[in-house]
């Protein structure tokens, strides 16, 4: 570590409080890694109504707090708790955050006031620093939800005794979600109209939070080196490539870490039996229990392919759907599927166990414990993503000796090493074409390795378990990024 920093993180979700995907894992875990390295970190997130305050030891922290939005002052309260030295401060404003789901209603329709909700969260986080006289060296924001943070700092707080010295960093976890909303929200957001221009927040007449964030942040990152390169291009960048290109070396890719406190088969309390590289006997127990739980045929000698995912276009399950029938008919293999999201995909995967009894087990929904069971009990783990900024499940899979079958994109390409049939090297199976045929053939390749090249399979499992994606290395890379942001901020 160069020197201890005060770091304010602002995020729309963070474990253990709220999580819909990898952002929650990162925003809850990276701060603890930074704190271990001697920094002082506060994470601000919404206090969603359903968060169990007693379970997390939330106590009143700061109230009342007035937050100026364009033309109105909103009064809210902040509750907090400490985890491993990190302060987690949760903004309580029921009008915005007391809802059953984080971003959308039960029909998956975005809440219409999302731009207001998350603009408010971001300003509330900055206001909290001002009210408490806590001067951060770095304000680190994540994704479109909090991407207004750098602009608030530059436009309103550049001269503030508490916030004037704060450099800003924006991490992009998924560039497809940009925060595009009608311009009518702009006055409430509370930036100026001269920030609503084609090279700042305006995008074909609408707001684009991420675009403005890219412009105003002192430094930027995304969650893997390969995705960083992909986002500079016209397809991967979803229109923002040119703006990222303009930032040159201020934009870097830093691979996410895994929280091995939570995801490690040698001490995971959620799985039926524990195991490590010295003996995989526990893994065989986990496989049998998983087969039983999902009503698959209980047999050691049939490979199980696991899936745990949000069902969204990004994840590529529409590439599996046309061929899963011919895979289970043509190969001796089972699928253990956990997922939720897209109604069409839910309707497709939901009835598969009835069509292929004993061969496909499906659970539609979000289920943390079952996710651990699938990681532990499967032989292979399938992620046919069309794009994948980092991906965490393949990283967990490696540690659970569950060999990933992935499309070679973004973080999947950076974390999985291609199997070499001649030497037995590698940690997984990669394909390039986003086609059902490629999914079919690559699953077939893994399955044939299971049956025909057992020694390779065993060596790959042990190799996979030895790969280390802990947060320490990534936290060190973030420190370098913070120093760059601070230098850029000072140079202004």
For ligand GLC, the binding residues (CB under 6 A) are 21-23, 26, 173-174, 223, 256, 388-392, 411
Nearer to ligand ADP, 77 or 364 (CB): 364
Residue 367 interacting partner from ligand GLC, ligand ADP, none (CB closer than 5 to 8 Å by kind): ligand ADP
Q: Which of 124, 119, 162 is nearest to 144 (CA)?
A: 119
The verdict on 384 binding ligand ADP (CB under 6 A) reads no
Q: Which of 467, 482, 389 is nearest to 23 (CA)?
A: 389
Place of tokens 């920093």: 5
Cα–Cα dist 297/462, whole Å:
26
| Three-state SS at 103 | coil
Q: Which DSSP letter does residue 162 get?
A: T
Residue nearest ligand GLC, Cβ-based: 22
Close Cβ partners of 244 (under 8 Å, ≥ 6 residues apart): 214, 220, 231, 232, 237, 251
The verdict on 371 binding ligand ADP (CB under 6 A) reads yes
Cα–Cα dist 129/133, whole Å:
6
Q: Residues 18, 189, 323, 338: which binds ligand ADP (CB under 6 A)?
A: 338
The verdict on 2 binding ligand ADP (CB under 6 A) reads no
Cα–Cα dist 13/163, whole Å:
23
Which region among 127-135, 203-211, 386-394, 459-467 touches ligand ADP (by CB under 6 A)? 386-394
- Give the helix, strand, coil percentages of the chain, each rounded to 5: 40, 25, 35
Where does 173-248 have alpha helices with state H? Answer: 186-189, 209-216, 225-231, 241-246
Strands (E), 19-176: 40-46, 59-69, 72-83, 86-92, 138-142, 167-172
Nearer to ligand GLC, 14 or 128 (CB): 14
Residue 310 interacting partner from ligand ADP, ligand GLC, none (CB closer than 5 to 8 Å by kind): ligand ADP
Cα–Cα dist 445/5, whole Å:
48
Q: Which of 313, 373, 308, 367 is nearest to 345 (CA)?
A: 313
Q: Which DSSP letter does residue 159 get?
A: T
φ, ψ dihedrals at 441, nearest 5°: -70, -35
Residue 308 interacting partner from ligand GLC, ligand ADP, none (CB closer than 5 to 8 Å by kind): ligand ADP
CB of 38 to ligand ADP, least distance (A): 27
The verdict on 15 binding ligand ADP (CB under 6 A) reads no
Identify the burial level of 234 via C-beta atoms within 10 angstroms of its C-beta, where 0-12 means exposed, 13-18 middle and 19 or more buried: exposed
Nearer to ligand ADP, 69 or 340 (CB): 340
CB of 286 to ligand ADP, least distance (A): 16
The verdict on 21 binding ligand ADP (CB under 6 A) reads yes
Which region among 79-87, 224-232, 364-372, 440-448 touches ligand ADP (by CB under 6 A)? 364-372
The verdict on 22 binding ligand ADP (CB under 6 A) reads yes
CA diameter of the chain? 69
CB of 22 to ligand GLC, least distance (A): 3
Residue 467 interacting partner from ligand GLC, ligand ADP, none (CB closer than 5 to 8 Å by kind): none
Nearer to ligand ADP, 296 or 383 (CB): 383
The verdict on 393 binding ligand ADP (CB under 6 A) reads yes
Nearer to ligand ADP, 62 or 310 (CB): 310
Residue 368 interacting partner from ligand GLC, ligand ADP, none (CB closer than 5 to 8 Å by kind): ligand ADP
Residue 338 interacting partner from ligand GLC, ligand ADP, none (CB closer than 5 to 8 Å by kind): ligand ADP
Q: Which DSSP letter does residue 365 get?
A: S
| Chain residues that interact with ligand ADP, rule: CB under 6 A | 21-23, 25, 308-310, 338-340, 366-368, 371, 390-393
């Amino acid at each position: 570590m160069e020197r201890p920093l005060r770091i304010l993180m602002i995020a729309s979700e963070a474990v253990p409080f709220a999580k819909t995907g990898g952002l929650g894992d990162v925003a809850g875990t990276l701060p603890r890694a930074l704190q271990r390295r001697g920094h002082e970190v506060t994470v601000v997130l919404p206090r969603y109504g359903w968060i169990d305050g007693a379970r997390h030891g939330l106590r009143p922290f700061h109230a009342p707090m007035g937050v100026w939005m364009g033309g109105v002052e909103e009064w809210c309260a902040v509750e907090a708790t400490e985890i491993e030295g990190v302060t987690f401060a949760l903004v309580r404003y029921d009008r915005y955050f007391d809802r059953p789901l984080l971003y959308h209603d039960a029909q998956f329709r975005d809440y219409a006031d999302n731009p207001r909700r998350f603009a408010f969260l971001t300003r509330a986080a900055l206001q909290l620093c001002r009210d408490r006289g806590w001067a951060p060296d770095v304000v680190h924001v994540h994704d479109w939800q909090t991407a207004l943070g750098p602009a608030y700092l530059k436009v309103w707080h550049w001269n503030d005794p508490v916030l004037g010295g704060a450099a800003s960093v924006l991490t992009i976890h998924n560039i497809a979600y940009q925060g595009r909303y009608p311009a009518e929200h702009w006055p409430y957001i509370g930036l100026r109209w001269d920030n609503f221009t084609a090279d700042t927040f305006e995008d074909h007449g609408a707001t684009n939070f991420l675009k403005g964030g890219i412009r105003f942040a002192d430094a930027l990152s995304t969650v893997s080196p390969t995705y960083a390169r992909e986002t500079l291009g016209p397809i991967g960048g979803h229109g923002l490539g040119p703006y990222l290109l303009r930032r040159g070396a201020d934009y870097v890719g830093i691979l996410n870490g895994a929280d091995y406190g939570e995801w490690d088969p040698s001490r995971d309390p959620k799985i039926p039996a524990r195991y490590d590289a010295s003996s995989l006997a526990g893994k065989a127990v986990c496989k049998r229990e998983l087969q039983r739980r999902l009503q698959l045929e209980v047999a050691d000698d049939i490979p199980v392919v696991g899936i745990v995912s949000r069902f969204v276009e990004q994840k590529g399950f529409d590439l599996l759907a046309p061929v899963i029938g011919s895979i289970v008919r043509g190969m001796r293999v089972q699928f253990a599927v956990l997922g939720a999201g897209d109604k069409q995909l839910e309707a497709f995967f939901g009835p598969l166990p009835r069509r292929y009894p004993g061969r496909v087990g499906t659970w539609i929904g979000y289920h943390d414990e079952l996710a651990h069971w699938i990681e532990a009990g499967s032989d292979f783990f399938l992620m046919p993503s069309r794009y994948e900024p980092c991906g965490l499940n393949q990283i967990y899979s490696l540690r659970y000796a569950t060999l990933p079958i992935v499309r070679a994109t973004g973080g999947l390409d950076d974390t999985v090493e291609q199997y070499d049939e001649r030497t037995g090297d590698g940690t997984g199976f990669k394909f390039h074409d986003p086609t059902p045929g490629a999914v079919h053939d690559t699953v077939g390749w893994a399955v044939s390795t299971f049956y025909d090249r057992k020694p390779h399979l065993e060596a790959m499992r042990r190799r996979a378990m030895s790969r280390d994606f802990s947060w320490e290395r990534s936290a060190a890379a973030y420190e370098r990024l913070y120093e760059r942001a601070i230098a850029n901020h000072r140079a202004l």
